[in-house]
Structure 1
């Protein structure tokens, strides 16, 4: 049986999944967690060694399960990598990691963002790299190390992104794949190469940045050492792969104009495919990102909700304690129990509005200091209202993203939904109702890992193009139509939601 292996290096853990070339069905999968560290408020770091150990364990277990089902390791046609974006991994001259990775969720580099904008010029930055300097991006994190840990920076010879560090460990190749490189704030997104103008303005040595490689071509192959550790065949091609959102789009078949993706994970996104590098020019700073896609000669526009699934997880951990206790006895998912409670509350949560800014916000505010909260709480509200308002607040934030993408003139014919949040029937229905569009779910239960595997299929010759790979494997399995009768209630609540951030900004937007 010919197979493909997809690796998704997430924030909470790494997923390895084995797929059949013929139809893309999942043969085996494995997931291993690793820790996330918060040394100070607003900081977020992980150890690349934890990623590597978890990746090896996940591959080994996945291949073992696959072998028990008749899928031999030597029949893996290729391996694809997907991963969390923006994290900075610094290597010395011996390719040893110099410090923990500052990951995407870290907010410490606000001063560096302001310095980048001043040095390059706000309009020039958009011209050169199509995106503003944000604390989530790689360049500000790199400059933070230069400013605050000069002894570490002086030893740095290579900067890699998280999944590209795993590529190096698998293949010995130092490279950065294009859809991930787009999130560094150092790549000329329009032309796909490093921006010499930005590097010069920031006084960064271009040698820090490895070559940029395509998503759907082989970037290297599994070494003999890794073959011994995992059971993979030495020489198995490793595709360029892609950023988690780009791979999630590929895994859901969002590889042609007219298609969009709503993903509800720790963060949430609305992503739309484009055949040209369109940039939001309605204001001084683009409110949505323009990145290179994992599809050759394609781009995507993306709005980001920083605290999507994060908000529901916070609620589960702090308000859903009875449900968590019940899980230990019954095995029932506490998220399901909480959502079931929220079903009894009408659309609009009877005036209770939740702002999901638990980790700052990107779209549309680009405010690392924004803080969340409930507004409109009365004595008549109870736990059920709190739960439903969280689900609705995230949906309102996603609507901000969707509306801005529509303003760019992209004709969206279909919206596909993915991520853990999209598995909740209630949350999926709320998002469909708030956006006013049908949400389509595909068979891509493994999202980014599946997309990475399809890219490996192109790199390994199993498919001729990414579009062919998707046509052969991605199928629609469920549709959620919006309830038009609820539109007035949601429109009224959304108008209140939109008014809250500007009204409360002096109070809720402040440094830690």
Structure 2
């Protein structure tokens, strides 16, 4: 059984665990889901021997060794909840032991060899949660470089010498010891593109929903004729921490066509990321460069749009699936081919293209971002009223 990170049913459990931990823990984290399963599906819970996140489950299937990746002891509070798990009566055997990245976990099992076509005994190396791997794999290993991890969701991850004093932004230890990753983002960036493609009734073909939206958006103009979209379709995490926040179009008129709505949805990704980039800059931790990661990084329109809205240069690595390069850096260290994670990443990462912000767009996107930011604040209480009603829903995003 698998439960997606986007599953929001464990909100009550997250509140109780947050009270135990003394800081907010979002329902997207692991322990609230474990507690929800125990309380709402006791049969499934009793049959469960271990809980894994996806990367460690894959490693377990490959080599038969159970572990939880732990890049720094600080992360224990966000994985299995530290002391909260025992306080809740959860047996420690349910949670695999921690291990550091860049270690040989075991050798490929014969059954896994047959499934993958790789030789039995091939080393299986411990690595990272996806966001830490992408930091390495994008080369965001110097203060001031940010990695924009794009996909179903999206996060602006800034490499910094110290955590942010404002804990609305998520400050976590970097993959490189001594550095910090400060982040905030969008829970439904790619999901918003897919949603709009489906809602707009774009024809079924071999193009992804995102590509259809971008194609339509290019037929509009910057600013989408004064139309904004707020892309909060499943609540929001850092820096807003509003699980009841919902999306909206703002400024819609009879003059707008499907291409304008598509443009507004596409631009909302840039504005959502700017909530973090500008917020950090105002707190003395500004980015000077953004490296994009993930499948959307291959889209020239989107990379140029982000550069214009963020008013920052955007670079695309040769291998935009930066998690792969970051994990390759961990393998290099484990196998003795790299002296450190930072050195291995610097050797492996190469930039393919760079997009400079268009100075002619600065005033317009500054103006629109100001409205976007004000609209978010206005939408928060309205969303809370909507989601507290008897017809409130949100979907479970559960997988099996």
Mapped pair 1:399 → 2:284: no
Q: Any stretches of 5+ residues in structure 2 without a counterpart?
A: 394-400
Q: Which residue of 1 aligns with 2:43?
A: 151
Query: Alignment partner of 2:157: what SS?
Result: strand
Mapped pair 1:247 → 2:247: no
CA separation of 1:334/1:154 partners in 2, compared to 1, >3 Å: closer, same or farther?
closer
CA distance in 1: counterparts of 2:225 and 2:319, whole angstroms: 35
- Give the counterpart of 1:178 among 70, 91, 98: 70
CA separation of 1:416/1:367 partners in 2, compared to 1, >3 Å: closer, same or farther?
same
User: What are the Cα deviations for residues 45-102 of structure 1, in whole angstroms up to 9, with x where unaligned?
Assistant: xxxxxxxxxxxxxxxxxxxxxxxxxxxxxxxxxxxxxxxxxxxxxxxxxxxxxxx121
Mapped pair 1:311 → 2:192: yes
User: What are the Cα deviations for residues 87-118 of structure 1, in whole angstroms up to 9, with x where unaligned?
Assistant: xxxxxxxxxxxxx1212111111111121223
What's the offset of the Cα at 1:506? 3.4
Mapped pair 1:272 → 2:158: yes
CA distance in 2: counterparts of 1:367 and 1:236, whole angstroms: 44
Query: Alignment partner of 1:452: what SS?
Result: helix
State how many pairs are aligned.
387
CA distance in 2: counterparts of 1:200 and 1:229, whole angstroms: 37
CA distance in 2: counterparts of 1:197 and 1:333, whole angstroms: 43
What's the offset of the Cα at 1:165? 0.9
Superposition pairs for residues 316-335 of structure 1, below 5 Å?
316-319=197-200, 321-322=202-203, 324=204, 327=205, 335=210
CA distance in 2: counterparts of 1:413 and 1:501, whole angstroms: 26
Query: Alignment partner of 2:225: what SS?
Result: helix
Q: Which residue of 2 aligns with 1:101?
A: 2
What's the offset of the Cα at 1:450? 2.5
Could you state the TM-score of these two structures normalised by the residue count of structure 1?
A: 0.70
- Asked if the contact 1:363–1:400 (Cα under 8 Å) also holds between the matched residues in 2, the reply is no
- Give the counterpart of 2:174 among 293, 296, 306: 293
CA distance in 2: counterparts of 1:183 and 1:106, whole angstroms: 21
CA distance in 2: counterparts of 1:360 and 1:350, whole angstroms: 27
CA separation of 1:199/1:297 partners in 2, compared to 1, >3 Å: closer, same or farther?
farther
What's the offset of the Cα at 1:268? 0.9
Q: Any stretches of 5+ residues in structure 1 without a counterpart?
A: 1-99, 126-131, 188-193
Would you tell me which structure has more strand in proportion to its own residues?
A: 1
What's the offset of the Cα at 1:486? 1.2
Could you state the TM-score of these two structures normalised by the residue count of structure 2?
A: 0.88
What's the offset of the Cα at 1:163? 1.1
What's the offset of the Cα at 1:143? 1.1
- Asked if the contact 1:251–1:450 (Cα under 8 Å) also holds between the matched residues in 2, the reply is yes
- Give the counterpart of 2:320 among 445, 448, 455: 445
Q: Which residue of 1 aligns with 2:398?
A: none
CA distance in 1: counterparts of 2:7 and 2:68, whole angstroms: 21
- Asked if the contact 1:338–1:387 (Cα under 8 Å) also holds between the matched residues in 2, the reply is yes
- Asked if the contact 1:219–1:238 (Cα under 8 Å) also holds between the matched residues in 2, the reply is yes
Superposition pairs for residues 148-227 of structure 1, below 5 Å?
148-179=40-71, 185-186=77-78, 196-227=82-113
CA separation of 1:112/1:316 partners in 2, compared to 1, >3 Å: closer, same or farther?
same
Query: Alignment partner of 2:273: what SS?
Result: helix
CA separation of 1:184/1:258 partners in 2, compared to 1, >3 Å: closer, same or farther?
same
CA distance in 2: counterparts of 1:257 and 1:495, whole angstroms: 27
